[in-house]
Structure 1
Amino acid sequence: VMGIVDVERRLSLMRSHTATHLLLAAAIDVLGKHVWQSGAQKDVFKNRLDITHYKPLTIEEIKKIEEKVNTYVLSNIDVKIYEMPRAKAEGTYGIRIYQGGVVPGKNVRLVNIGDINVQACGGLHVNKTGEIGLIKILKTSRIQDGVIRIEFTCGLSSLRYIQNKEEILMEAAKILNSQEENLIKNIGKIKEEIEKYKIENKQLWRKYLTKLVNEIIQQPKITYSDIKVYIPEFDELTREQMIEIGGEILKKHMEAIVIVVNKKAEAIEYVVMLNDEISKRGFDSSAIAKIIAEKLEGKSGGEKTIAQGFGRKIDNEIFQSIICEVRNYVINKLK
């Protein structure tokens, strides 16, 4: 049997392995000796180290860990690998040598990086820390109580990550016609303008809504006894706007059922709303929504006072049949 070792891949994994040991040492130095390795995964492009810690890492803590670990790299420390009797190893370095897990045997293989980090480890490593290259923390996250995951790259993968970020920054500056150093300031200004337009848009919507509701209540689709059913139709409304329209109509007519229909490009969605007063008389928004869904070959769901649904686009004939079905529902409830 013959095998061929992918040298570049092997070197990348060796850098990642030694980088993991250094990152753990940096985390212990910055966060405290309570930190313990909970898990790790090494790869060619991205690695992860899970550590025990009682809270998510702050930006400042991440920066300090990153600076500390790269100081170890730049110091070009010798990575020494040797075997030692288990009892002597534990007596010399303590149980912290088992950060990666307890290994079997009377002797243990130790990886000693300038006494910064000493671990029992059977993996391949670089000869000097300078061979690792830049170590860049990509992301940290809390994966469970007391465990923080640190995702990182090293070597050329770190360089490519930074280059990609630079490209994004340059493209953003180009889109906003801004110098890179003024980008945050200009984004802040744009955000302020957007917030201003949102307020203005909300004020315009409120004015339009008042006028719109006054027009809708003049033309109920169904009137039976004291119950009025309003079915306004719109194009491309948001769900929030649909509910707001329904709510405003119900404020003006307590004994009403509102079905707000929103016709999108390829489908129809709707919201059914009614007040508690007529809900107590047996009317149910979810039941009405289900009737409509059956006609639209769609789905619905909700509660007694508010429900929603969607279905395929319909023609006028089907729409009239929906009105007829809703009318029958109202009549049956009032019998």
Structure 2
Amino acid sequence: MATAVRRIKLGSQGFEVSAQGLGCMGMSALYGSPKPEAEMIPLIHHAIDSGVTHLDTSDFYGPHTNEVLIGKALKGGYREKVQLATKFAIRVLEDGSMGGICGEPAYVRAACEASLRRLDVDYIDLYYVHRIDTRVPIEVTMGELKKLVEEGKIRYIGLSEASPDTIRRAHAVHPITAVQLEWSLWTRDAEDSVIPTCRELGIGIVAFSPLGRGFLASGRNLVQNLVDNDYRKSLPRFQPENVENNLETFEQVNEMALRKGCTPSQLALAWVHHQGDDVCPIPGTTKLENLNNNIKALSVKLTPEEMAALESISNAIKGERNKYMVLTWRHADTPPLSSWKPI
């Protein structure tokens, strides 16, 4: 019997999504070579038909090609069935490399209009600031996003890797519907201040990399099979000084999963789902089997004792979660609005 995918409300503005989403990045970027459209479009359709209707992409993935892929997948009546999220702010240079972060108003508008063209849609359900431009007051970036909402080009606004102060200031300009952050048994640094801030303000939480970039799904098998152009090979937690310790942690998760009669990925995802009905994890995959496996995590029930045991295990993870911690919420405060001098 198929697992039913329940619906949840993200934020306080009436936005409703599937309780589990689909992160689409790995189909086109960062985790090795892009996967064939002929395989990915049916996978996306299967996700939607199964009730996973919250799709997450970005103009940075590819760059640009992931949005094009999603746009093709939404033809034939699928657009009306999904809650589509994309992101902007990471500039891409002509050679495809990253060219810094930009939150200036003209760029906000140009990026949105370019995403609408690539996705071939009339509006974006949830539009995120992918990374925070620490040169530009967040009120300035939000001012342009608010105009895009008023024009009907976007429906809801989100922030990704934003600090508590940035979230508060942005929310004062226009309600923030969701904050996207890395949250899993592998990464829990947002629990002290970012997540409480979201809950105080009635902002939904979208958890990216809820399976620790795949590590919590397959452990050593993943580590041994990463190809040279896989971004994960550069991450501190996959480096020799940390990886053996982290594999021991994975084995503890795996042992608990065996006792529960589920897979380690289902156990790790279930832990995220048990954080509350304001949380939507968006595990990514390029395989139908993994997609079906992830959906089944919604039926895994954990006791408070099992939750505590998993959290105790997770405390042993070693290494930073990101190669560039300067681009995370810890360094995402912006200057005061009074300092802004438009170019």
TM-score by length of structure 1 reads 0.19
Identify which of structures 1 and 2 has the higher relative contact order when contacts are C-alpha pairs closer than 8 Å and 6+ apart.
Answer: 2
User: Which has the higher Rg, Structure 1 or Structure 2?
Assistant: 1
* Structure (1 or 2) with the greater strand fraction: 1
